[in-house]
Amino acid sequence: MLTPSYPIATPRLILRPFRPGDLDDLYAFHSLPEVTTYLYWDARTREETRAALDVKIAQACLREDGDALSVAVELPETGVVIGDLTLFWRSEEHRQGEIGFVFNPAYQGRGLATEAARELLRLGFRELGLHRIYGRCDARNTSSARVMERLGMRREAHLVENEFFAGEWSDELVYAMLRREWENPA
């Protein structure tokens, strides 16, 4: 089981559980078509965002494999939620996890997603005791691929036309890191 000690402070961010007051900030970027282009959900209405937020609020800890931990990324100077992180516990037996991240494009290009996602790796490896953490993205999603590369994750696979997504075949990239690589970066 993993219940992080919140808030988690990084040099420029606060990571914490989602709360009901985050609706406006979450809607500000979950409603943008350019944000959801490579995600499994379309731009959300305010009500769809409210429903997603309710799920995120309930995902404040990991109890067993199959669970997801949702973490809000907040700018400490303004209190604005600019990102949405997820750590999926994929297998207890094989000690596997997956990371995901969605950020408000108004805050992209500053290394904030990398800074926040680095904490997901720490939570997964140090606190949950995972052996391997991976991340996946559409091959056209160069921003997400760059974040995973900056985290030190290696590209393990380029799956060609493996999914029929948004009306067309798309490629998928798989990045991963082992605990020993996280502990002793090259």
CA angle 162, 138, 136 (to 5 degrees): 90
Token pair belonging to 70: 């949702």
pLDDT at position 125, please? 97
pLDDT at position 185, please? 85
In order of start, what are the domains of the chain with their CATH numbers?
A: 8-132 (3.40.630.30)
pLDDT at position 33, please? 95
Give the pairing of strands 168-178 and 132-138: antiparallel
pLDDT averaged over 10-residue windows placed end to end, the chain, 186 residues: 92 98 98 93 96 98 95 98 98 97 96 97 96 97 96 98 90 98 90
